[in-house]
Amino acid sequence: MSRIGYTLAILASSVLASACTDDLPTSDNSGVAPTDTSGSTTTTFDHDNTTSISPWELLDRLTKEGPPTFTSHMHSCPKVKYATLGQVLQGVGISTASTSTTGVAAGDLYTNGMAALGAANYANRIRENIAITTSGASREFDIFAAGAPEVMTAFTNNAIARCPGAQLFDAAGACQTSGITCLIGQPASSHHVEFCNLTVNSASDVATGKKLAVAAILAAAYTCE
Tens of pLDDT, residues 88-123 = 999 999 999 888 766 689 999 999 999 999 999 988
How many Å apart are CA 224 and CA 221, to the nearest integer?
A: 6
Question: 22-31, 74-83, 91-100, 188-197 — which is least confidently predicted?
Answer: 22-31
Residue 66 pLDDT > 90: no
Q: Of residues 182 and 39, which shows the higher confidence score?
A: 182
Q: What is the pLDDT of residue 45?
A: 61
Instruction: Write the CA distances from 3 to 7, 9, 13, 17, integer angstroms.
Output: 6, 10, 16, 21
User: What pLDDT does 161 receive?
Assistant: 87
Place 133 in a pLDDT band, splitting at 50, 70 and 90. Answer: confident
Domain ranges of the chain: 82-222
Please tell me the predicted confidence (pLDDT) of residue 155: 95
- Is pLDDT of 74 > 60? yes
The C-alpha atoms of residue 134 and residue 64 are separated, in whole angstroms, by 34
**Calpha distance 138→129 (Å, rounded):** 15
| pLDDT tier, 210 (very low <50, low <70, confident <90, very high otherwise) | very high
24-28, 64-68, 190-194, range with the lowest pLDDT: 24-28
Calculate mean pLDDT across residues 124-149. 90
% of the chain beyond a pLDDT of 70? 72
* pTM listed for this prediction: 0.65
Nearest alpha carbon to residue 167 among 180, 149, 150, 148: 180
205 has a pLDDT exceeding 70? yes
